[in-house]
């Protein structure tokens, strides 16, 4: 696969623009960030995909993502790469494209578990910061505005009620052919919200200088227009 790679000798004297979008699962971060990136000509960086890939690697090795020792033993063995093909991010685990494999509920849960470990977060910090140093990015995650890019040009905290987020996520998974129920998705989502907001390191929270956007009552186009307005005004 043709990977997006910079010449290491290339210098980055120009300050790149970074836009951080944080928030809980299902608030619409990824689809909105992807569309915004296309409109603005920025690179979309989906940081959740990195945590998902570590979760997947642990599961593939037959280990328990909830057991720190087993997760940490895997960290030394894995190599992650982010590649861009026609503007779409692909994540490679030891050279293999796992972009589709990481989108299951089992991997979502594993990603949330492994992301609580400080060593896992440290392992991914530089990759994320490097992406933002090298190009204009819209980066979504849980700690982008608080930890990874505290000096981001614009920070948005995107949220929605858990009922609405579960409704969207259920529709998305059913469309992909996965057998799930709304109740099950809502339960998983609440559990992940709890885990992501209560972990010791880099918990999900709104940065003091982030703009809060609640998408519960907005459709996709409405949310997109609101975010685009925030970004264009913020960059003026
Ligand atoms: O955004 P997502 O659902 O793909 O993220 C999967 C998990 O990864 C999520 O439960 C929390 C974790 N995550 C994180 O801790 N920090 C990030 N910047 C992105 C994701």
pLDDT digits (tens, 9 = 90+) for 198-220: 999 999 999 999 999 999 999 99
**Model confidence over 50-77: pLDDT tens digits?**
999 999 999 999 999 999 999 999 998 9
Cα angle, residue 188 at apex, residues 185 and 189 outer, rounded to 5°: 85
Looking at the chain, the whole-number percentage of residues with pLDDT higher than 70 is 94
CA of residue 215 to ligand 1 center, whole Å: 19
Query: Which pLDDT belongs to residue 1?
Result: 45
Mean per-residue pLDDT for 159-188? 94
Looking at the chain, the whole-number percentage of residues with pLDDT higher than 90 is 86
The answer to whether residue 157 scores a pLDDT higher than 80 is yes
Strands (E), 38-169: 43-46, 80-85, 88-93, 96-97, 137-141, 154-159
Query: Among candidates 31, 54, 52, 53, which has minimal Cα distance to 175?
Result: 31
Ligand 1 binding site (Cβ under 6 Å of any ligand atom)? 25, 47-48, 51-52, 108, 111-112, 115, 141-144, 192, 196
Distance of CA 117 to the CA centre of its chain: 16
Is 59:161 a contact under the CB 8 Å cutoff? no
- Structure confidence at residue 86 as a pLDDT band (50, 70, 90): confident
- Structure confidence at residue 47 as a pLDDT band (50, 70, 90): very high
- Structure confidence at residue 3 as a pLDDT band (50, 70, 90): low
Mean per-residue pLDDT for 6-35? 81
Q: What is the DSSP string of 1-61?
A: -------TT----SPPPEEEEE--TTSSHHHHHHHHHHHHTPEEEETHHHHHHHHHHHHHT
- Structure confidence at residue 11 as a pLDDT band (50, 70, 90): very low
Which strand (E) or helix (H) includes residue 211? Answer: strand 211-214
The conformation of residue 174, written as its DSSP 8-state character, comes to H
Atom 11 in ligand 1: which residue has the minimum CA distance? 112
Cα angle, residue 64 at apex, residues 29 and 54 outer, rounded to 5°: 40
Query: Among candidates 233, 104, 108, 234, which has minimal Cα distance to 177?
Result: 104
Pocket test of ligand 1: the residue of 111, 118, 165 to mutate, having most ligand atoms within 8 Å of its CB, is 111
Contacts of 52 (CB under 8 A, 6+ apart): 91, 102, 103, 107, 108, 110, 111
């Amino acid at each position: 696969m043709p990977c997006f790679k910079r010449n290491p000798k290339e210098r980055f004297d120009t300050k790149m623009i970074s836009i951080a979008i944080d928030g809980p699962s299902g608030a619409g971060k990824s689809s909105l960030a992807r569309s915004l990136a296309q409109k603005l000509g920025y690179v979309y960086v989906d940081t959740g995909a990195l945590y998902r890939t570590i979760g997947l690697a642990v599961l593939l090795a037959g280990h328990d993502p909830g057991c720190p020792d087993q997760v940490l033993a895997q960290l030394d063995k894995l190599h992650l790469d982010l590649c861009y093909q026609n503007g779409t991010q692909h994540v490679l685990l030891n050279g293999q494209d796992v972009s589709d494999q990481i989108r299951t509920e089992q991997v979502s849960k594993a990603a949330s578990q492994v992301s609580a470990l400080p060593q896992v977060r440290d392992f991914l910090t530089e990759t994320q910061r490097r992406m933002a140093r090298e190009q204009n990015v819209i980066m979504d995650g849980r700690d982008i505005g608080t930890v990874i890019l505290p000096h981001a040009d614009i920070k948005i905290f995107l949220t929605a009620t858990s009922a609405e987020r579960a409704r969207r996520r259920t529709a998305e998974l059913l469309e992909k052919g996965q057998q799930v129920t709304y109740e099950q998705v809502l339960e998983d989502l609440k559990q992940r919200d709890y885990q992501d907001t209560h972990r010791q390191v880099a918990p999900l929270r709104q940065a003091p200088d982030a703009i809060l956007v609640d998408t519960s009552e907005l459709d996709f186009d409405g949310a997109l227009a609101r975010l685009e307005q925030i970004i264009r005004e913020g960059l003026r």
